[in-house]
Amino acid sequence: CAGIAYTAPFEYIPIEKFKNQIDVNFYGYVYVAKAFLPIIKKYTAEPGARRGRFAFVSSGPLPGPGVPFITSYMGAKWAGEALCQGLRMELKMRQLPIDCVMVSPGIVKPTRLAAEGEMLLKQTFAEMEPEASEEYLEMVDAFRRYQLEEPGTHVSVVGQQMERIMRHGRPWLRYFV
């Protein structure tokens, strides 16, 4: 479940799944920023250097209202949003020529995530108490079908938006695809 939203009702999501989502979707940002910030600071300090840039990939519905059944994933992504905004402000306060931006890709299709997600969903409900299926399976399945029916953006369009972000002189905080 590392790269995919763990779909289940909040009350039945095991704590380990919350931790996994935080490890991937929040600490992933932290590790990258910590590793590259000293390098970017060094190279942007050179005469004639271009601005440095962190472009973090957010999630489809962010910013926006909460989304049911993917609370572990969305919580981790919201934490990433806070990290990006806070780091952006710190760099600006130091007057460093380094920007942080969030890219909200929306629903990206086609990917393998739908098939992987369906397998993970079946496995998830098989591992939960029977009450979880009785209380939530119909709603979770409707949520999954809704996502599958939504039009999506091809991954190449996300790449094109990333290229625009890297060329933008003074980027905005958020870019939508």
Per-residue model confidence (pLDDT) at position 40: 98
Q: Please say whether the beta carbons of 51 and 98 come within 8 A.
A: yes
* Averaged pLDDT score across all residues of the chain: 87
**pTM attached to this predicted model:** 0.83
SS3 at position 27: helix
pLDDT per position as a tens digit, 56-80: 998 866 666 778 888 888 899 999 9
Strand partners, 99: 53
Residue-wise pLDDT for 100-140, tens only, equals 999 988 777 766 666 777 787 788 888 888 898 889 888 88
Note if the bond before 130 is cis, omega within 30 degrees.
Answer: no
Copy the structure tokens of residue 44.
């942007």
pLDDT at 167 over 50: yes
Q: Please tell me the distance from the alpha carbon of residue 99 to that of residue 52, in angstroms, as a whole number.
A: 6
